[in-house]
Amino acid sequence: MQNIRRTARLAGIAALFLATTASASSPPPPSAVDLAQQGDDPAWAITEALTTEIGPRQAATEAEAAARRWAVARLAAMGFQNVREEAFMMPTWVRGAEEASLIGPFQPQKLHITALGTSASTGPKGLEGEIVYFASYDALVAAPEQSVKGKIVFIDHQMKPAQDGSGYGQYGRARFTGANVAAKKGAVAVVIRSIGTDSHRAPHTGGTNFETGVKPIPAGALSNPDADQLVRQWKRVAAGTASAPLRMKLLLTPQNLGQQQSGNVIAEVPGSDPAASPVIIACHLDSWDLGTGAIDDAAGCGIITAAAKHVMSAGQPRRTIRILWAGAEEVGVFGGKAYFDAHGKEKHAVALESDFGADWVWRVDFKLPDSAKALTDRIAAAVAPFGVTRGKQAANGGADIGALVAAGVPAVDLAQDGTRYFDLHHTPDDTLDKIDPVQLRQNVTVWTATLAILANSTDSELP
């Protein structure tokens, strides 16, 4: 309901602005923002077509290569310049069979599980073991080795939705490094409650990281309802109402394929001043394999590209706009690293990224030089009519432009509503039907307003 109300309000705002524009007696040519609010939405078209014609596109697989070919053709057809692939090599992990069951002390039941990226294989026969329960990542960290050794570690938690997505960092540790902690304590496998806020039998995948020298163990995530079931059984066992320990059977057979090729796709809107440093805008083209990567991150590619298209259509900007559809973000930001290796020494005026779904932009954050004070005021004023407030914290930039921002490139964040993002993130449910075209268009409008100002900023404002 909240989303529907939001949608209606955003549509109303958009209509108001259109009416204002249309009522002028001698209308000026449409601005980039006018274009973003009218007619077809290239963001929807890109998101619909990429998810329909390519679908899932895991890094360094044939599907991601097909997505790059598709992307080059699409970006060229939209009138962008210097459209190209920039290839790189990367270690590649692919999913195999994945099954889990609770096998005692109650009637055996199948669970919905998915392997985490870099999980080891159980081998084709799987493994069985006793479950040891931890209420949180921190509880596992604090546990003595002997309580874990030889067992299947289960990590529970209570992640809840937040508009700014802030639960991901805290609760995400169970996925990011829980397997590593369990492996070092001698666990035979680790199973976590999904880092997700939904109640569907769709487990959330994502990468997990083993330290150098730590031998990977099988690592999987259960859906929230499956984790609930495990916890209910665990509580009976812990309360002594069941006669035997809680046991699981686990089969995960992922494979490491060694070094495989991935790549970035780059396109540009050439600026009128060849000496001016470019504005770089980024998304990622790869997706996890379970869904079709609609919110993560086809929509991001649609949003940034639509904004660039509208700015280009309204008249050549002073600065070049460089569009980066990064490869291999999900599995370790290999595309962002490859871009930085190839282009990190070039000057960049400012960097922005869209990689948090397709729900509306509610806040703008800046990390700009002091010289850009008037510029930030112009952007804040330009996006305020669309419901976007000015944040008090520094922009952080995003994964694919992370190395650039760490190296000092200024950044602007157009923060999206993440209330339902972790319902869908890295699940089979990341599909086109989850995208609300009205909220998607608000993203494009806010991005267009921001990008038009940045791409026409002066050299005294941005480096």
Shortest Cβ 62–a second copy spacing (Å):
8
Q: How far is CA 293 from CA 111, 285, 297, 309, 432, in A?
A: 24, 9, 6, 22, 8
By CB under 8 A, residue 347 contacts a second copy: no
| Cis amide leading into 400 (omega within 30) | no
Measured from the CB atom, the residue of 51 and 320 that comes closer to a second copy is 51
By CB under 8 A, residue 8 contacts a second copy: no
By CB under 8 A, residue 373 contacts a second copy: no
By CB under 8 A, residue 25 contacts a second copy: no
By CB under 8 A, residue 236 contacts a second copy: yes
By CB under 8 A, residue 2 contacts a second copy: yes
By CB under 8 A, residue 255 contacts a second copy: no
By CB under 8 A, residue 225 contacts a second copy: yes
Shortest Cβ 157–a second copy spacing (Å):
16
* Distance (Å, whole) CA 76 – CA 78: 5
Give residues with Cβ within 8 angstroms of 158, minimum separation 6: 171
By CB under 8 A, residue 112 contacts a second copy: yes
Residue linked to tokens 């002073």: 318
* Distance (Å, whole) CA 106 – CA 104: 5
The answer to whether 222 touches 201, Cβ cutoff 8 Å, is: no
By CB under 8 A, residue 229 contacts a second copy: yes
Shortest Cβ 75–a second copy spacing (Å):
18
By CB under 8 A, residue 201 contacts a second copy: yes
The per-residue DSSP string of 76-129 comes to HHTT-EEEEEEEEEEEEEE---EEEEEEESSS-EEE-EEEPBTPPP--TT-EEE
Pair type for strands 98-104 and 247-252: antiparallel
Measured from the CB atom, the residue of 202 and 333 that comes closer to a second copy is 202
Shortest Cβ 292–a second copy spacing (Å):
7
By CB under 8 A, residue 66 contacts a second copy: yes
Query: Site for a second copy (CB under 8 A): which residue of 27, 53, 84, 272?
Result: 53
Q: Alpha-carbon Rg of the chain, whole angstroms?
A: 24
* Distance (Å, whole) CA 449 – CA 311: 9
What count of other Cβ atoms lies within 10 Å of the Cβ of residue 69? 12
Query: Site for a second copy (CB under 8 A): which residue of 12, 18, 22, 52?
Result: 52
Measured from the CB atom, the residue of 245 and 270 that comes closer to a second copy is 245
Measured from the CB atom, the residue of 234 and 366 that comes closer to a second copy is 234
Three-state secondary structure call for residue 394: strand
Shortest Cβ 424–a second copy spacing (Å):
10
* Distance (Å, whole) CA 219 – CA 178: 9
By CB under 8 A, residue 263 contacts a second copy: no
* Distance (Å, whole) CA 42 – CA 304: 10
| Cis amide leading into 270 (omega within 30) | no
Shortest Cβ 196–a second copy spacing (Å):
13
The answer to whether 105 touches 239, Cβ cutoff 8 Å, is: no
Strand partners, 113: 222
* Distance (Å, whole) CA 344 – CA 351: 12
Backbone φ, ψ for residue 278 (5° rounding): -80, 160
Residue span binding a second copy (CB under 8 A) among the ranges 75-83, 152-160, 276-284, 430-438:
430-438
By CB under 8 A, residue 292 contacts a second copy: yes
The answer to whether 88 touches 265, Cβ cutoff 8 Å, is: no
By CB under 8 A, residue 40 contacts a second copy: no
Query: Site for a second copy (CB under 8 A): which residue of 107, 146, 158, 212?
Result: 107
By CB under 8 A, residue 428 contacts a second copy: yes
Query: Site for a second copy (CB under 8 A): which residue of 6, 46, 56, 409?
Result: 56
* Distance (Å, whole) CA 193 – CA 184: 20
By CB under 8 A, residue 128 contacts a second copy: no
Measured from the CB atom, the residue of 53 and 346 that comes closer to a second copy is 53
What count of other Cβ atoms lies within 10 Å of the Cβ of residue 127? 16
Measured from the CB atom, the residue of 17 and 106 that comes closer to a second copy is 106
Measured from the CB atom, the residue of 376 and 431 that comes closer to a second copy is 431
Measured from the CB atom, the residue of 160 and 392 that comes closer to a second copy is 160
Binding site for a second copy (CB under 8 A): 1-2, 48, 51-56, 63, 66-67, 106-107, 109-110, 112, 199-202, 224-225, 228-229, 232-233, 236, 291-292, 427-429, 431-434
